[in-house]
Chain A
Amino acid sequence: MNVKKVDLSRIKPYGDQMDDGAVQLSFTLPVSNGPRAREAARQLVNSMGFSEVQIVFSEDLSDDFTFFIVYGKTEKFVDYNSIKAIGVESPKMNMEQVDEYISTNIGHPIIVVGATIGTDAHTVGLDSILNMKGFHGDSGLERYRMFEVYNLGSQIAPTELAKKVREVNANVVLVSQVVTQRNIHIKHLTELVDVLEAEGLRDRVLLIAGGPRITHELAVELGYDAGFGAGTMPSDVASYIASEVAKKLL
């Protein structure tokens, strides 16, 4: 068969043929619609490194804005073989396995404190990880035999969280941040690390951040042990906690 095979050292977008480089884009320019606006859009996309640029749709959003839908082909490629992604690394276990693992390797329940900190009022994400009900059929940490969970809810000040950590002698701190506008999450997350450090608690706990815009890379950069993003399952977090707390004990 005469079908081109993928070359992992040079991968490109696939439209309807290997390596055709087809990409769809949409954007708005702050000018009114017309031939001149369309030509501007074409040149702009061209200058981004696309060839065979087609402005397939343009419409006025009002007098001074035009929306474009554009297709183009890119010449660029990446070497897939040399790509490394940083993510949380831990063995994947289910609830029974995690409980079993903690019983054997740690011998007592792990104490977890969770909160959405700062001005952020979103709780659904953190609750999906902590509440019994869990997320898409995967039970939350409260249902695990070997986790003792304190869920403080939202709008919690870092100092309040630190107080709870001390009070219950927590092993793990789970923090959620959903609102990211103007990098407010960075500010909140940094504040918490500072508070925990100032109170001499940072080294005593496994510190984990989560939220739809949180990546492991970002979390580590901010001084966290791990970060979990969109689509995280409670058992992902449970497995990670179990294996990390066990490691700390060694």
Chain B
Amino acid sequence: MNKRIPHLDLDENLVREARKLAKDVTDDVQRFIDVKSTTSVERTVVRLYGIDGIDAEDVPLPNVIVDDVKNGGGLDRGVAYWIANGCIAKSMMPQELAEAVGRREFSLMDLPPQNEGLVAEKIDEMTKSAIEHITEIRETRDRMLEELGDPPQPYLYVIVATGNIYEDVVQARAAVKEGADIVAVIRSTAQSLLDYVPYGATTEGYGGTYATQENFKIMRAALDEVQQEVGRYVRLTNYASGLCMPEITAMGALEGLDFLLNDSMYGILFRNINMIRTFVDQYTSRLISAYSHITINTGEDNYIKTSDPIDRAHTVTTSQLINEQFALKSYMKPEYMGIGHAFEIDPDVTNGLLYEIAHAMLTRELFPQATPKYMPPTRHMTGNIFKGYAMNSLYNLVSIMTGQSIQLLGMLTEAIHTPFLQDRYLAISNAKYVFNNAKDIGNEIVFKSDGFIQKRANEVLENAVKLLEHVKAVGLISAIEEGTFGDISRKRDEGKGGDGVFTKGEDYYNPILEAIIEELRGESV
């Protein structure tokens, strides 16, 4: 990894204590995650069995299938059984079966139970081929990454957000030629609240394009092409969040995505999605990411958009530790954890830069094996693009100094619109200038042991430990109800998508997740 960063003297006992507490907090949540599933988890299974497409009313077939089983009262067994049973009964492939159900020719629930041995065999066969498929995609990507070469960190990460995937391709190509290492395709406003994944290419999205499998495919193909021209691997990012979090992850696994925004609490806090739904969904989602070597990006930067970045800095640390523990429960290797944080302190604060350095160092040192994702100033960006450009330079400086891994480039027009072509170019030139001009600055820096930065980092850590103690005492769910993160309070029984959560029956079976867990567990031993 070869990161030249200055050293921070963190209290090692405190670090251990923090991790232990975060583990206890998430263990508590994992206990109910383990006994529940959701409609979107089941649709994920359907998708991984190769079922795609829509019915005559544009309803995605994974929804058709899961609704069919749900309405027939069979969902607590898991959808896999019903698909396999249907395939045998009708002598059809899963896709054919789904299309027939989509034409309302029959319900899976009306088909007579088939010979158990045959059904079990069918399930094994379908599962094996699903796993083989995503394994192959993972291996192809890992090979490309090796052949073309992994660019140096911090990676330059830019967004495209025209709302038209084909226009996005034009902008992405230009950005890659200017030096971008990662392209994120921004998602359409409010997709999070759709309880299905739209189908096909988007040409007229609001604030972005839908996360659809077709859009993923189009952009990945474009990047595959341009990365050959520039001779370095280019990563593709989308958003596995909202009501379809695990389904989108499955689509990402199928289309070779590299990064997915994926937070264990963001949907609850910022989109008012039901807590249980989110916790259950993020587990499946992360298992698939861990398996497919998709780097997740957590969303702590958001908390300090709605709450004060200095007073509430420890909530960022607390959430990072919680996100890490949830990821570990999904057997994710640290290198695939894009732990989030941000440069969001009000530019009028005296010595704001010192706070930023302390906070950035804390993240870096707390997660030495991870791939931290550093987010730029957004909230205090205004129509004064010139000042914004200066703020972005300081942000870039902190990043190179403290050895961050993923640099989401700040846009000087952040307060105005989604980036113009030239905004992205200016952002890339700014980052390249600073990263080159201050390349080895981290090597030269020693923080005074009684200085502001050391003290501040330890203070934030202490506050995080105190907060974790409290969260452990009341439980994560109550802590969220209290408004611990982002100054936003959500109630346990409220929020969207709660009706999609169900308790697994005694005969519940999710063969895909079981296969993934088995492999990952094997690796981690």
List residues of A whose CB falls within 8 A of some B CB.
Answer: 26-28, 59, 61-65, 67, 119-121, 123-124, 127, 153-155, 179, 181-182, 184, 212, 230
Contacts and interface: CB of A to CB of B under 8 A. Distances in A.
11 contacts: A27-B422, A61-B174, A61-B177, A62-B177, A67-B421, A67-B422, A119-B193, A121-B271, A179-B189, A179-B206, A230-B383
Given A28-B422, A184-B189, 9 more contacts: A62-B177, A64-B174, A65-B174, A67-B421, A67-B422, A119-B193, A179-B189, A181-B189, A230-B382
B412 to A, nearest CB: 11
Contacts, number: 59
A62 B175 CA distance: 8
B418 interface: yes
A120 to B, nearest CB: 8
Contacts of B173: 62
A155 B269 CA distance: 13
Nearest to A64: B174
Contacts of B189: 119-120, 179, 181, 184
B163 A65 contact: no
B178 A62 contact: yes
B306 A123 contact: yes
Interface in B177-202: 177-178, 189-190, 193
Interface string B67-111: 000000000000000000000000000000000000000000000
Contacts of A27: 422
A61 B305 contact: no
B272 interface: yes
B490 to A, nearest CB: 10
A64 B418 CA distance: 21
Nearest to A61: B425
A220 to B, nearest CB: 23
Contact of A67 (B175, B418, B425): B425
A133 to B, nearest CB: 9
Contacts of A155: 190, 193, 271-272
Given A155-B193, A182-B163, A61 B421 contact: yes
B415 interface: yes
A26 B271 CA distance: 37
A63 B226 CA distance: 12
Q: Which of A61, A67, A230 has the most CB of B within 10 A?
A: A61
Interface in B375-406: 379, 382-383
A184 to B, nearest CB: 6
A28 B271 CA distance: 36
B242 to A, nearest CB: 11
B457 to A, nearest CB: 27
A87 to B, nearest CB: 18
B367 interface: no
A135 to B, nearest CB: 12
A230 B384 CA distance: 13
A65 B207 contact: no
A199 to B, nearest CB: 25
A61 B193 CA distance: 36
Given A119-B190, A123-B306, A181-B163, A61 B422 contact: yes
B166 interface: no
Nearest to B488: A123
A28 B420 contact: yes
A124 B305 contact: yes
A10 B383 CA distance: 27
B502 interface: no
